[in-house]
Structures are given as structure tokens and as C-alpha cells.
């Protein structure tokens, strides 16, 4: 287990971090409450993080600045930030005297792999528009998924990316993990507990937030194929064995939760299928990236991007009113549209 090492913020590194904060719209004026409190939702894609970010922005924008980051590639493409890491940005803002929280989310492994696969099914895996892929034969799609199954969504940011120590056991009764390391609060949630997130957020952050589902696969262009996949997919026995031996599943699910989860998939097994070897997968990715012509990074997929101008604030109040009255929302807070309204 690794303990985080505080960095030396000086010289060129300091200049890069100052510039990074500016590009991320992180304000250093600590007279305003939201500038003092930073939440980095720093986790893999397709774990429910967009829903969490949108919920924070809708209900707690005046108290917290929320950053949603998956990796350094995202920083480079969306913000032009290079030569520094996400961890360095996190530590730098603590160095400035801010209250910094870092959130990761664990999602059950098979569902995470399926969702991650469908997130890039057109742009990466079939090099075609989602509208076209939506009409593909489901067996073709299932076969491709099984071939790359072992290599999808394997990272645990909390354990493998943050470079911090972690407890020997997850407290299942509490439904989350929180550690204060060098003044930074690191939090691990589980997507399976999303119905309890409102209570957990209030307990940790002291704000009343309603969870608003956002950016769900079954509402996208690819939704018909996604529905077919979920209805038809059976996991090959040898791939099920990978999940059965998954150390992350053993850590984040209690023995009872794990057994219930595995039993559900045991009833959906089929004959073995040989996935790509590691070298074959490397070649697969090289070719897929070489052929790729559709961008992967989604620039605007939030219901609320966090703009605090007067027009967006008024639009946010309208949406909150509807949400609090139990109405479903099919619109987003877009800066330009909000000004037109």
C-alpha cells in the first residue's frame, strides 16, 4: 500500500498548476464558499459518476465546485492541460488551503464492462455511427464483447490510481469508505447503493441533494441494441470464472452480496469462448484506434455543466422546481439556450 507524497510546488510545475486551475475554472478567491470546497469526481467512466456530478451541481452549486475527471487524456483533449497529473492538481488545491474531496465509485464488474463497451461501441469497437451499429446483429455484438471481455474496465482508481493506503476491509453496513490523508478526504461509493447516496452525501457534505439520473445508456441512440444485448447476453463459463475470482468484487461486496450477485449470473452461463490473448488485444486496440474517425470524449453530456451565470441559475431554479415536484426532466442547462430563454 502506498501513502501519498506531498509534492514540491515550485518553478515550472507551479506555473503549470496555476494554468491548469484557470483552464478548469477553479477560482482561488476563498471569500466565496464554493471556491473553498472542491469535489473531484475522479473515477472510471460508466460507474454513475455523471449522475452524481449533475446532482451536486443542481443542488449544491453555491457550496461546492465539482470537477468530473476520468484521466489525463480527458484533461488534454478538453482543456489543453499537459505535463501534470490529476493527482497533482488535487494536491495543489489542498496546498492552497482548500477543502478537497475525491470521489471514486465501484460498479459491479459485468455491468461495468457492458456499459463501458457500449459507451464506445460505435466510435471505437465498430468504427461506425451509433445509428448504424444500432442495427447490427446481436450475436456479432456479443461475440465482439466476449473477445475483449477480460480487458474492459479493470482499473480501481481508489486502490490503483490515487496512490493512497486503503483499509483491509470495506465497511458494508456503512455503504461507503472515507479516509482523510494529508488533509484530502478520499471517498469510495458503490453504484449498488445509489438509492442511499442522498443520505450518504448529507452525512459527508452536509447538503440535501436529490439524485438525478443523467447520461444513461438506455436513453441514447444505441438504446435498442443495448436493450437487446441485456435481454440476450449469457456469459461464457470461462469468463464467469474471471468474475468469480475477481478480487475487487471480493473487497467491495460482502460475502452475501457477492454470492447473490454470482448466483444471478450463474443462471446465465453458456459454453466457453476463447477471448483475445493479451497480444491479440493490443493489436485489436492498435487497429481500432488507427481506424477511428469519431471522437470519444463527450464535451457536453451533463444535464447541468455547472455554469453559475444569471441565466443558467434561473434555468437551474426552474429544473429544481420541477424535480422537487416529482416531474421527469428531458432538458439540460445549456448556457446559450438559457440566455435565449
| Residue ranges per structural domain of the chain | 11-107+156-213, 109-154+217-291, 307-341
Q: Provide DSSP, 67-105.
A: EEE--HHHHHHHH---SS-HHHHHHHHHHTT-EEEEEEE
Residues 88-103 pLDDT 10s: 999 999 999 999 999 9
Question: What integer is the mean pLDDT of 135-158?
Answer: 96
Q: Which residue has the higher pLDDT, 78 or 140?
A: 140
CB 56 within 8 A of CB 62: no
Contacts 24+ apart (CB under 8 A), 250-256: 251/169, 251/170, 252/106, 252/170, 252/188, 252/190, 253/108, 253/172, 254/172
Phi/psi for 170 (5° steps) reads -85, 135
Residues 19-36 pLDDT 10s: 999 999 999 888 899 999
Question: Which stretches within 186-236 are classed as H helix?
Answer: 197-205, 223-232
Question: What integer is the mean pLDDT of 147-162?
Answer: 95
| The predicted structure's pLDDT at residue 340 | 57
Q: Which of 217, 219, 180, 172 is nearest to 196 (CA)?
A: 172
What SS3 state is found at 179? strand
Question: What integer is the mean pLDDT of 144-150?
Answer: 98
CATH number for the domain running over 11-107+156-213: 3.40.50
Amino acid at each position: 500500500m502506498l501513502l501519498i507524497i506531498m509534492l514540491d510546488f515550485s518553478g515550472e510545475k507551479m506555473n503549470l498548476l496555476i494554468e491548469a486551475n484557470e483552464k478548469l475554472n477553479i477560482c482561488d478567491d476563498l471569500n466565496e464558499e464554493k471556491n473553498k470546497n472542491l469535489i473531484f469526481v475522479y473515477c472510471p467512466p460508466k460507474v454513475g459518476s455523471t449522475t452524481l456530478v449533475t446532482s451536486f451541481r443542481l443542488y449544491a452549486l453555491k457550496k461546492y465546485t465539482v470537477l468530473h475527471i476520468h484521466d489525463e487524456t480527458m484533461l488534454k483533449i478538453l482543456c489543453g492541460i499537459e505535463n501534470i497529473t490529476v493527482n497533482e492538481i488535487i494536491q495543489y488545491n489542498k496546498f492552497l488551503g482548500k477543502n478537497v474531496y475525491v470521489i471514486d465509485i465501484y460498479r459491479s464488474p459485468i455491468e461495468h464492462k457492458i456499459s463501458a463497451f457500449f459507451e464506445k461501441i460505435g466510435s471505437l469497437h465498430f468504427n461506425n455511427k451509433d445509428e448504424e451499429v444500432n442495427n447490427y446483429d446481436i450475436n456479432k455484438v456479443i461475440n465482439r464483447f466476449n473477445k475483449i471481455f477480460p480487458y474492459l474496465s479493470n482499473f480501481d482508481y481508489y486502490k490503483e490510481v490515487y496512490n493512497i493506503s486503503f483499509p483491509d476491509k470495506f465497511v458494508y453496513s456503512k455503504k461507503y469508505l472515507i479516509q482523510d490523508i494529508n488533509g484530502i478526504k478520499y471517498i469510495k461509493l458503490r453504484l449498488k447503493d445509489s438509492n442511499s447516496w442522498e443520505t450518504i452525501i448529507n452525512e459527508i457534505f452536509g447538503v440535501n441533494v436529490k439524485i438525478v439520473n443523467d447520461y444513461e445508456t438506455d436513453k441514447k441512440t444505441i438504446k435498442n441494441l443495448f436493450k437487446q444485448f441485456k435481454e440476450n447476453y449469457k456469459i461464457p463459463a470461462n469468463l464467469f470464472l474471471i468474475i468469480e475470482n475477481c478480487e475487487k468484487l471480493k473487497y467491495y461486496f460482502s460475502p452475501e452480496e457477492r454470492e447473490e450477485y454470482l448466483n444471478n449470473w450463474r443462471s446465465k452461463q453458456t459454453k466457453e469462448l476463447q477471448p483475445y490473448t493479451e497480444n491479440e488485444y493490443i493489436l485489436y486496440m492498435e487497429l481500432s484506434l488507427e481506424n477511428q474517425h469519431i471522437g470519444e470524449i463527450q464535451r457536453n453530456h451533463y444535464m447541468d455543466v455547472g455554469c453559475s451565470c444569471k441565466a443558467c441559475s434561473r434555468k437551474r431554479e426552474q429544473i429544481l422546481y420541477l424535480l422537487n415536484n416529482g416531474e421527469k426532466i428531458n432538458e439540460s442547462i445549456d448556457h446559450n439556450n438559457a440566455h435565449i430563454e
